[in-house]
Amino acid sequence: MVSRGVDKNTDTLKINLVFMDSKKNRDLAVGYGYMKKEDLTFAAEHMQQENNEYCNYPNVYELLKGRFPGVTVDGTSGSYRIFVRGAQSINSSNEALFVVDGSAGANVSGLLPCNIKSIDLIKDGMTAIYGTRGSNGVILIETKKGN
């Protein structure tokens, strides 16, 4: 292929972009891509497992208790509910939406905390990509096998 500059005779330009995956290039996976740490607002929180400390919890709900500001875990074993902004609605559900490895509305009851790589909580306008389902906050979970 002959290389030439772009001029008035150029009809088509083919560009091959390669994303170099590293901590420097991405910090938080959100519904519409990745956000860098400097672009984050207080509407996002990130938690990453180190040294298998998540294995100390019996389930995801117990793991989330007290970890994120503004998040309430209500209930006991078998009937947990998670609220990001509190339980305020009388007629509608206002539980947070779980997204596990990109699957929105996933059931996390059987998910073992040892298999979790990272947990991200997003709220406010950042949840718009999930529509009305995300209006009560979104908890993004990436498993170790979900790379």
Average pLDDT over residues 42-50: 72
Q: Is the pTM of this model over 0.75?
A: no
Tell me what pLDDT residue 36 has: 63
Within 4-146, strands assigned E span 28-30, 33-35, 44-48, 72-74, 81-83, 97-100, 103-104, 116-122, 138-143
Whether 147 has a pLDDT exceeding 70, the answer reads no
Q: Residue 134: its pLDDT value, please? A: 82
Residue 118 has pLDDT above 70, yes or no: yes
100 pLDDT band, cuts 50/70/90, is very high
Q: Over 60: is that where the pLDDT of 48 sits?
A: yes
Neighbours of 146 (CB within 10 A): 13
CA distance 92 to 137: 14
**pLDDT confidence band for 89 (50 / 70 / 90):** low
* Residue scoring higher pLDDT (108 or 30): 108
Mean pLDDT, the chain, whole residue set: 77
Rounded to an integer, what distance in angstroms lies between the CA atom of residue 132 and that of residue 128?
8
* Domains defined for the chain, CATH in brackets: 34-143 (2.170.130.10)
DSSP-assigned letter for residue 20: -
Structure tokens at 88: 């305020």
Distance of CA 125 to the CA centre of its chain: 14
